[in-house]
């Protein structure tokens, strides 16, 4: 049976920017092994499989795969799938649409706005990030990224491990220039970033390429088939824990824009909203634009 699929570029308002995503509709009958094989065939950072929801109040159940493993939750697949379903459900009619997506981590509430040819989606992070133990030694982290130890850290920020379903080592880098010099050393990767059997590093700095951005970031996870990712929403969800820990945020709502993918020629912009109550993180949402790039049929 042919299965419809679309590809989208996510966290960008134009094609051939942002983070590419494949979304396979009509995914009934595919088991996890088949989904993993199809994700390897697409060979994008993530592929989404859309299934009927377990609870009819929600729009769909989705499963998310990298070329190497299944993810319980991920940001750019959530934004891209929400945009695609809203476009298809409403025949591209302008409006604001709300629905839930069932992911392995839980129900993810999504809001999609279709206006004047632009499409923007925002979702509430399904769980607050938790700290996942201590990172590796700073000198080892630096060496695995091809940097010197003095290029790691700024202000009071130092490496930490946070995650919302998937842990990342968050590496503060002193300057935008140093970010451009990162060259990953895969021979040291597991030792430097192999927490919980995984190995994802998210480097970030306050120096940015665009005015209006809050952080410039790069994400690497070579063990999962992702040498570098143009945009990583689940890492931004974890970044909320980093910001809440190191930055002195007053109670209220704070807005940040994270730029990523610039070194890859895939500029991506991720909008982050954090709610602080009693000096603690109480909630967050992530948003961005997405555009359809291609569509077709999958004959498997």
Q: Is 46 a catalytic residue?
A: yes
For the residues 282-296, what does the mean pLDDT come to?
Answer: 98
Mean pLDDT of 50-68: 97
pLDDT band for 295, please (50, 70, 90 cuts).
very high
pLDDT score of 195: 64
The residue-averaged pLDDT of 3-13 equals 98
- CA–CA dist 39, 133 (Å, integer): 31
* pTM beyond 0.85: yes
Average pLDDT score over residue span 192-203: 85
Render pLDDT for 236-268 as a digit per residue (tens, 0 to 9). Answer: 999 999 999 999 999 999 999 999 999 999 999
**For all residues of the chain together, what is the average pLDDT?**
96
Q: What is the mean pLDDT of residues 12-25?
A: 97
Nearest in space to 205 (alpha carbons), one of 252, 167, 163, 259: 259
> How far apart are alpha carbons 116 and 183 in whole angstroms?
41
Give the pLDDT confidence score for residue 196 in this predicted structure: 63
Question: For 80-103, how does the pLDDT look when each residue is reduced to its tens digit (9 = 90+)?
Answer: 999 999 999 999 999 999 999 999
Positive or negative torsion for Cα 251, 252, 253, 254: negative
Residue 281: what pLDDT?
Answer: 97
Q: What value does the mean pLDDT take over residues 137-152?
A: 98
The single residue of 28, 41, 46, 155 carrying the catalytic annotation is: 46
Count the residues in the chain: 300
pLDDT category of residue 197 using cuts at 50, 70 and 90: low
């Amino acid at each position: 049976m042919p299965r419809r699929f679309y590809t989208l570029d996510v966290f960008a308002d134009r094609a051939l920017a942002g983070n590419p995503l494949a979304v396979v509709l009509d995914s009934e009958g595919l088991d996890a092994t088949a989904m993993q094989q199809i994700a390897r065939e697409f060979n994008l950072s993530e592929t989404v499989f859309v299934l009927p929801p377990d609870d009819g109040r929600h729009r769909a159940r989705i499963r998310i795969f990298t070329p190497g493993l299944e993810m319980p939750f991920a940001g750019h697949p959530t934004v891209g799938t929400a945009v695609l379903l809203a476009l298809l459900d409403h025949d591209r009619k302008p409006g604001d649409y709300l629905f839930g997506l069932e992911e392995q981590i839980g129900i993810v509430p999504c809001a999609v706005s279709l206006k004047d040819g632009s499409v923007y989606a925002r979702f509430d992070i399904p769980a607050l990030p938790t700290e996942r133990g201590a990172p590796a030694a700073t000198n080892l982290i630096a060496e695995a990224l091809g940097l010197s130890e003095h290029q790691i850290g700024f202000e009071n920020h130092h490496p930490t491990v946070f995650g919302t379903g998937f842990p990342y080592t968050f590496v503060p880098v002193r300057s935008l220039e140093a970010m451009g010099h990162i060259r990953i050393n895969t021979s040291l990767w597991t030792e430097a970033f192999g927490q919980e059997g995984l190995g994802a590093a998210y480097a970030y700095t306050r120096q940015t390429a665009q005015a209006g951005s809050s952080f410039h970031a790069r994400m690497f996870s070579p063990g999962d088939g992702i040498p570098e990712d143009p945009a990583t929403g689940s890492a931004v969800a974890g970044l909320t824990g980093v910001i809440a820990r190191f930055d002195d945020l007053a109670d209220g709502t704070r807005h940040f824009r994270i730029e990523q993918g610039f070194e890859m020629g895939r500029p991506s912009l991720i909008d982050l909203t954090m709610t602080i109550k009693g000096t603690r993180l109480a909630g967050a949402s992530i948003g961005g634009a997405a555009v359809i790039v291609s569509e077709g049929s999958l004959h498997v």
